[in-house]
Structure 1
């Protein structure tokens, strides 16, 4: 929110009220699962049909899209930003991992609603699907994150 302190609860409430099928992915999702990681941004995965709904919900928070909805759908991603940075993946399917592509509709149907600090619920992929999304990155930090996620899966038997 330009000129004001950013309130994560406002962001998550706006997303939840948008009607957009929005999954929090990346390290913020790991934080929601209780893992000890740090991140400076947000990563969302939405269905391509929901770009306008998400943008409209976040516009009152001063978040502006870097691409038009049509451009975002063509590119498969865009950014919402002000002082905050939100990467938005716009895809019906993620990149195949071990020959299997993860469909947004499938991840959405298995989503978990996790409580954030202020009691707001945020949709995140189930643990197995979050692990699949982490394979898409291929960076060193993703390998570290995968080890943490796999350890959580072993400790919890699949779902916390």
Structure 2
């Protein structure tokens, strides 16, 4: 039996307010995830305005709450909704991580979405450089627009 680190914390480990905020973020993320990538980036760019950059610990906590609240976001195929929900949950706290979408650099080809904070990928079990960023939405103070 394998161990899934995204489910390491039981939902009871989070405050009720965090769980409700995560449910709202996951619901919004599932709606946003159905849109084209450029549209997602444009919406997230608007939402990231006036937010402070998220710290690594805060982004990790947000990701843990999202994956502990939603089995769909905890699954390996839930990366897009998980990354959007994590960014939205951080935004509810007044901060914003860098939201990224890209591809694996090694075969087999595959798209992936994730968040970074303080220059590190948050909660990703892959080595640095494994993903290539094609689209990102960094905190407002670090950007002029979506890349």
Question: What is the TM-score normalised by the length of structure 2?
Answer: 0.29
More relative contact order, 1 or 2 (CA 8 Å, 6+ apart): 2
- Whichever structure has more helix as a proportion of its residues is 2
Greater CA radius of gyration, 1 or 2? 1
